[in-house]
A = this chain, B = another copy of it.
Amino acid sequence: MQLEFLGTGAGSPGKFRNVTSTALRLLDERNEVWLFDVGEGTQHQILRTTLKPRKIAKIFITHLHGDHIFGLPGLLSSRSFQGGDEPLTVYGPVGVRDFVQTALRVSGTHLSYPLKFHEITKAGTVFEDATFKVSCEPLDHRIACFGYRVEEADHPGELQADRLKALNIPSGPVYGQLKAGQTVTLPDGRTINGQDYIAAPQKGRIVTILGDTRRTPHALSLAQDADALVHESTFGKDEGKLAHNYYHSTSTQAAQVAKQAGVKQLLLTHISARYTGKLSKELQNQAQKVFKASKVVRDFDVIEIPLPKKG
């Protein structure tokens, strides 16, 4: 599981940062990629990575500002052009369907795969299956905007075959029963409770990806105990007033959320073009003063989200 940043800028594309898009690579977990926001030129950025458009199975849109959605019609069209035939679902605020369908209709585009829409109006679970759950909460932006919390299900503990073998229990169907947690009586009369030989479950990971937002308590609950928090940082430490007026956050505010929510790492994105080169380091330094594991990401950065250490 990795986060790959395809666009880390704010507002308009710049020479160094494209407008927003973040890929959550779930290749080992699901052989899928999920995108969060699709600013214009996201498909161009993908051309420079190893990501395959046909593996993009879900797209989550935080809000409908142009720098977060104008790349959708092109990406969806190219995925079709390149022979993608697996279904794709777009999640996002009301209006995303109208935007995409109008673009496809007007351009006479017929997709080679089923395209579904799941429009969001309030907090709740937007997707859940055996291995992953995605929930959302509203943020505080000029228009409807959501943050997403992706929770991986716990990995069930593995059967400790080594310990069973040390007891001279020969492998065979009995291992399956033990792995299922059953109590088994062996031919030699011994009784073994499988649950005593199953390792502790491996906690699943949590990744929180927020859209543009002012300070809001919803950011905290979305980020609680996350392995990674992706938070906007449009402004610097001393621009709290600007951030408030434009419905954005400062580097320091983002770091406060990370700290209070007890996340493992904070990834700062949606960086204004005013903060190029050394100046973006400045934003990072400001955040690190509050929360050490803070990083201002750049386009094409890939951040590993390791499985939590077993406690």
* A interface residue numbers (CB < 8 A to B): 11-15, 18, 40-41, 43-44, 47-48, 64-66, 69-71, 73-74, 77-78, 81-82, 95-96, 98-99, 102-103, 106-109, 142-143
B residues within 8 A CB of A47?
13-15
Q: Are B69 and A107 in contact (CB under 8 A)?
A: yes
In the complex formed, the residue of B with least CB distance to A53 is B12
Q: In angstroms, how far is the closest chain B Cβ from the Cβ of A223? A: 26
Which 7 residue pairs of A and B lie closest in terms of their CB atoms, listed nearest first? Answer: A40-B74, A102-B102, A66-B107, A99-B106, A95-B106, A70-B74, A12-B78
A-B contacts, 9 listed (Cβ < 8 Å): A12-B77, A13-B47, A13-B78, A40-B40, A69-B107, A70-B73, A70-B77, A70-B103, A95-B106
Q: In angstroms, how far is the closest chain B Cβ from the Cβ of A146? A: 15
In the complex formed, the residue of B with least CB distance to A95 is B106
B residues within 8 A CB of A40?
40-41, 43-44, 70-71, 73-74
Copy number in the complex reads 2
Taking A64-B106, A95-B106, A108-B143 as given, write out 19 further A-B residue pairs in contact, using a Cβ cutoff of 8 Å, ordered by the A residue number: A11-B81, A13-B43, A13-B44, A15-B47, A18-B44, A40-B41, A40-B44, A40-B70, A40-B71, A40-B74, A41-B41, A64-B107, A66-B103, A66-B107, A69-B106, A70-B74, A99-B102, A99-B106, A102-B103
